[in-house]
Amino acid sequence: MPGALRSAFGFWILDFGFWIEDGPQSKIQNPKSKILVVLSLLALGLLVGAAPQEESILLTAVEDAYVVADIAAPEDEQGLRERNLGSQDFIKVWYAFQTPGKDQLLSLGLLKFDLTPLKDRDVQSAHLQLFALRADLAQPARLLDVSLVEGEWSEHQVGFNKLPPVNTTPLATSAIYGANLWYSWDVTYHVTRKLRDGSVSFILGLRTLENNQEEQVVFASREAGHSAPRLVVTYLVTPPALQLPLILVGGVAAALIGTLCGLFVGGRSAARRVPAVRGLPGGASSAEAQDQGPGAGLPDAGTAADSDFVAAAGEAPRPRRRT
């Protein structure tokens, strides 16, 4: 049962208790009854349970690396495609096209995160964050794309020729414009999709590659010991819901408390509201006197008892008019 529905259900039962005791009009007019309703409702809300709350968790990359190749030299005379760079304290996303010569050097970054801490979590958002140690750009800002890696890989074995299958469609893009800054990519959808797999991997690359240019962005890796690649994930924490029988018991208990408090408050209010007036026969109340008319309970005018009654009421006797 949703929290709002449980609160409305508890309020209806509690309000019904006051309606039985005081009646519709007195329930509205009695301020103490309103206070008791509010306090009892708060107590019932604590009993039934609080609304879901959002919490966050920080996941550090469990593996990272970067790979290099001269994409203009398939024969790989320099042996770049087989080189493993998974133990470096940085991740280099770089290209150098024809500067000088005909080389077209390209490097891409790889990241892997363990998602088992998110098992059975209601993930609301996930952002990949990287800290830029260096940014050498030909333009004031460059776009850096993050794409999804679909296969398995190890930071101690991966090279350009051993890259796992990659989905080349960018998941997210961020503009890079300087060093010593954190940059963020929204990868919520793909993290939630990979929760069952227990891990998720990303590949990083500059979107624009220009001839006769060299540009690079260098990020801190997990081996750096600080500012490591991370996933910032938020998720909902829902308190355990009470079963319907317990909700009913709580609602009935609240209604009984409201009724008893209404008896106490209503009885004391009635005692203060309807005092007896001195001099009325049999201690009749002022309300009864009003029902019987303005002269009810008083001796007939023009008799001797008139002045006696007025004197007893604390007023000076009025002189009688002689006829």
Average pLDDT over residues 125-149: 97
pLDDT higher than threshold 70 for residue 6: no
CA 174, 179, 181 angle in degrees (round to 5)? 65
- pLDDT (average), residues 9-38: 49
Bigger pLDDT: 39 or 210? Answer: 210
Indicate the burial class of 80 (C-beta count within 10 angstroms; 0-12, 13-18, 19 or more). Answer: buried
- Residue pLDDT, tens place only, 61-81: 999 999 999 999 989 999 999
Domain layout of the chain by residue ranges: 3-51+240-272, 56-237
Amino acid code (one letter) for 15: D
pLDDT of residue 36 exceeding 50: yes
Q: What is the mean pLDDT of the chain?
A: 77
Q: Write down the architecture of domain 56-237 according to CATH.
A: Sandwich (2.60)
- Per the model's pLDDT, the better-predicted residue between 250 and 119 turns out to be 119
For 159-208, the pLDDT digits (tens) are 999 999 999 899 999 999 999 999 999 999 999 999 999 999 999 999 99
* Per-residue confidence (pLDDT) for residue 148, from 0 to 100: 97
Q: Measure the CA–CA gap between 17 and 23, rounded to whole angstroms.
A: 10
pLDDT digits (tens, 9 = 90+) for 243-281: 556 556 666 666 666 666 665 555 555 555 545 445 444
Is the CB of residue 280 less than 8 Å from the CB of residue 44?
no
pLDDT class for 52, splitting at 50, 70, 90?
confident
* Tokens read off for 45: 């809300």
What confidence score (pLDDT) does residue 45 get? 56
Element (H, E) at 96: strand 90-97
Give percent above pLDDT 70 in the chain: 59
**pTM to 2 decimal places:** 0.64
List b or e across 100-131, with b for residues whose CB sees 16 or more CB atoms inside 10 angstroms. Answer: eeebbbbbbbbbbbebeebeebebeebbbbbb
